[in-house]
Structure 1
């Protein structure tokens, strides 16, 4: 995981980090509250040796005293000193218990030794410390005196009697709570990083870029304020609409491996719920907004939803149930009779899935499928195909291979890493071009979502009947029938098929262009 991944994990699991910090602070407070306070009393000893007459002797004696301080510290915590102190005090405490209360600390680079005793009673702590110091002085005198008698080679002198402690020993309440909070914070950060590492779902567009060989062409934001309408209201403006337009621009400037502008675009994804249908509808509407003749194809013959989503009239719905892509591929109907012009008032045409065919896979593998795609490319400026997920049905890869390439969607917080890799492998195996990836449902800021764009946006609605003109090539072109020839958005039929988008000075190849964004809908 990169630093950015950790930062996103901490931002995502901020509540976990906060809870862990509060629990740590509470644990520190509870420890202080329920722990018996103890007091520490300290007596200080001075270690001496026999003095010499020269400066060299004095220096050697000082080093000897410093070495003796360490030895005397060990004696202070010995069982013999504790037993002698208990005998001196005549108090109800065992030598083992008193020994556990004693600490001896030599002061660095000095001949001073601090002997401390800790006890819940400050008075007893002082009494015990004085007794231990007295007995240590006596024991040192006995050990340093030769058996033949004479002056001890070294000794310990009680420099300061034990004090009466007024403050508890150990850390203060503030320090304990602070350390507990710090420990909880570290634990919370570790848990957040662990959960993020174990989460297989994609959480940012950078994760998609790290997996996909092609760049991200679009970054569609999640707009919770969007009303429950089938087609994005591009005229309303805002960040969501601008991101859709940026996706359209990137596709217009993209190029297939053969060097041509992509016209037949398969919109697919690794799994269901990634927003394919919603993105396909919005992409078709965005292309239509720019004055192009657009055909939206319901390529998911397994689970078609476009006819329901677009809100067709009863007559259109009846027609969609009788004829569509399946019957066209089977040779039962021609394209002109199956295409629905301006479904639900949209500015693009729709080729519904139609009745479910008996052998769906054979239809896409038949030679007629290739002819159909070529005819659609010749009759429309853009053909957007809503396909099933790549990891469950092979139709998406077949459409992408027959057409100009595929847009692979990855929904933030939903699409998983493994299925995305598998979907890209399916496309590669089928020999389909990957135009780029599109990140969907990225969280958008409320202020950005409501911001009006600088450019003008026209509502993407069907033209008036009196303004309708037959679309060039029309829907009837594949089979030469004239019926329903205005299905290709007649109000904007003056756009040239080949001259719809001027070639850029420096074409962007099929790996994509810039990162963009658009709107959230609960797509398949």
Structure 2
């Protein structure tokens, strides 16, 4: 029994060498000659695998080819050539019986089905790989992408709710309707608190147009609800609130021509001074002068880079600030900086106005102002 065990152990150890023989160049060259293949020995080797069955003296030889008959013939020929080579190697030069021999137990048969491609398996693998890559990509984008892309991120960053989402579109887009509803809610809130001034500010310079669009939408909504509104520009770097405004020597409120008429029930104080400090001082004066009888909407420089919003919010007539954010354009660092400045300055954040990327000129209120006849 000991001799049988040692013989079996010897054979299993030799199987490692036999695997190498089955995929050797010598066996491949003999296979090419025997079958008259047009392929080279290296090409045949690339399509042949050999694997010893664990804890046995058996070895499986597999050949692949686009031609099933050729695959079968190559597998059988490689097996025969490997057995012949083993016999030669294991036979002593002095002759006699070989120390070990190999024989084919089961010859390769014509395969009923192709081993590859497997459409179902490949589809499942592709879907799984795509899902994993998608999750990894989303994770990496959240880490490395500097842009704000999600409404929930805006609400978390500013600690307030999004009041309106402005979709790129035409002058009759739902953004204006939502702007009216938001304005009406704010109007009722301002009346109850006896504070009638609101500041519109962006999180960064790229949000200036969104802030202006929010200011004009809010003003239009308040005017539609029957209130008189004063729009105030405080920064010449921002797009004009009323590029087609009609000057008036005496405004519709009966006050000197500090205001220009931009639409029914809406007047504007334009930023026509190059000194920022004077513009800010004038805005503060306008808030105090007009807020007793009108709603005042102020378009202010970005909160992330300017303290103007904090200074203006110190007025007792200011209800708070609405922050404009452009998804896919505004950056996280600016959102964080704006939230920090507003919080440290004690500014009440009423809410946020979000504008999706694209269609900046689709601000419905600004188009309405643009149609005002001179």
TM-score interval w.r.t. the shorter chain?
Answer: 0.5 to 0.7
RMSD over aligned Cα, in angstroms? 5.0
1:218 maps to 2:163: yes
Of residues 233, 243, 261, the one that matches 1:299 is 233
1:266 maps to 2:182: no
Q: Give the whole-Å Cα distance in 2 for the aligned partners of 1:227 and 1:90.
A: 77
Match of 2:322 in 1: 407
Q: Give the whole-Å Cα distance in 2 for the aligned partners of 1:220 and 1:123.
A: 66
Return the offset for 1:189. 6.7
Report if the CA contact (8 A) 2:197-2:295 is conserved: yes
**SS in structure 2 of the partner of residue 211 of structure 1:** helix
**SS in structure 2 of the partner of residue 279 of structure 1:** helix
Return the offset for 1:383. 3.0
Report if the CA contact (8 A) 1:361-1:395 is conserved: no
1:77 maps to 2:23: yes
Report if the CA contact (8 A) 1:376-1:383 is conserved: yes
Distance 1:352 1:364, change over 3 A: closer
Match of 1:361 in 2: 277
Match of 1:380 in 2: 293
Return the offset for 1:142. 4.5
Q: Give the whole-Å Cα distance in 2 for the aligned partners of 1:383 and 1:224.
A: 27
Return the offset for 1:206. 1.9
1:279 maps to 2:194: no
Aligned 1:191-340 pairs, distance under 5 A = 200-212=146-158, 214-216=159-161, 218-222=163-167, 224=169, 226-227=171-172, 241-248=180-187, 262-269=195-202, 270-271=204-205, 273-284=208-219, 286-287=221-222, 294-300=228-234, 302=236, 305-308=240-243, 317-319=247-249, 336-338=255-257
Report if the CA contact (8 A) 2:235-2:279 is conserved: no
Q: Give the whole-Å Cα distance in 2 for the aligned partners of 1:101 and 1:220.
A: 60
Match of 1:112 in 2: 58
| Matched positions, count | 358
Q: Give the whole-Å Cα distance in 2 for the aligned partners of 1:369 and 1:93.
A: 86
Deviations 1:381-413 (A, max 9, x none): 743323354578765554334453432222334
Match of 2:349 in 1: 435
**SS in structure 2 of the partner of residue 156 of structure 1:** coil
**Which residues of structure 1 form unaligned runs of 5+?**
1-51, 233-237, 254-259, 325-333, 444-518
Q: Give the whole-Å Cα distance in 1 for the aligned partners of 2:232 and 2:37.
A: 95
Q: Give the whole-Å Cα distance in 2 for the aligned partners of 1:240 and 1:123.
A: 73
Q: Give the whole-Å Cα distance in 1 for the aligned partners of 2:129 and 2:61.
A: 32
Return the offset for 1:218. 2.0
**Which residues of structure 2 form unaligned runs of 5+?**
368-374
Distance 1:153 1:290, change over 3 A: same
**SS in structure 2 of the partner of residue 105 of structure 1:** strand
Of residues 262, 265, 269, the one that matches 1:352 is 269
